Amino acid sequence: MKEFQKDLINWYAQNHRPLEFRLKKDPYEIWISEIMAQQTRIEAMLPYYKRWIKELPNIHSVANCDDEKLTKLWQGLGYYSRCKNIKKCAVECVEKYSGKLPYTKEELLKLPGIGPYTAGAIASIAYGQRVSAVDGNVIRVFSRIYDIHEDVTKTSVKKKIEKLVDESLPSKEDISYYNQALMELGALVCIPKNPRCELCPIQKYCDAKDPGSLPYKVKKKARRIEYKHLYILVYKDKIHVVKRADTGLLAGLYGFDEIKPEKIIESIELEPYIHIFSHVEWHMVATLCIVDREDSNYKSVKEIEEHIALPSAFMPFLKQVKEYLWKK
């Protein structure tokens, strides 16, 4: 096992991406980056991460941040419950840990929105704790190393893989680099499709006969389809936005009306759009409705873009409305 660890860490030293949040080993920055990287590629989330850290450089600044600003900073990353949990976690850290993240994986797991992987990443990378950090990349690497053909979405199989990872951990001195090396190997070499086995530093330890077929997962059920008709109300150069309900998809964020207004001066049908969530698809049509009066919920394009957290599901319609306003 020591040779395995050594080969992996040596490869990491020469081939890792210069990710600032991991190189600095700042627990706050690692936490934010790892939450943002859930469901999002690291390269895609980096601009959001940099903007967030510039605006909110520490836990205290998150705990004291206005919710509207917080969701605006998160806009484009999706899965907004992650953002809400960051705020809850920051408040708890201020109240219980003097504005710092706790040191141990066990204590980190008690915080809102922090699961086993994120807790392990913070504890091992920032604090040098000898604990595992098992994400999708690591599950893929170990399912191939041990040629595991069981469904990795099952809790029992995940626990089996976590046990194998725990048994592979090096000393505290090397734990930070080892865990990062496993993540990096899964991201750069042991990739989901067409793994680059010829570049793998631990290929000689791998038992997989057909690496590309692993990890094994039972096929998901087809996504549910929901049909929606949006009515985008425009008065002069302003657009009507409404805050969504506090429950359900995109809870508490902003969107457009789903009830047809009583009086319409002119209506224009917009190009339809399908937005795909993890378990549901929204098949949307939209009507641009010119109206003759406004209220406080009408905002200029500039106000929407600078201050309103409009989810990506509605962005194609905003783009079309902007084009209409520019042509006027």
Please give the positions annotated as active site. 34
Amino acid at 275: H
Bridge-based pairing state of the strands 266-269 and 280-290: antiparallel
What DSSP designation does 312 have?
Answer: G
**Residue recorded with tokens 């964020």:** 253
List the Cα angle 229/235/240 in 5-degree steps: 45
Burial group, residue 25, by CB count within 10 angstroms (0-12, 13-18, 19+):
middle
Q: What is the helix (H) or strand (E) element at residue 228, kind and residue range?
A: strand 224-235
Which position has the token pair 């997962």?
A: 217
Please, how many CA atoms are within 13 Å of residue 199, restricted to the half-sphere of its CB? 14
Beta strands at 238-240 and 224-235: parallel, antiparallel or unpaired: antiparallel
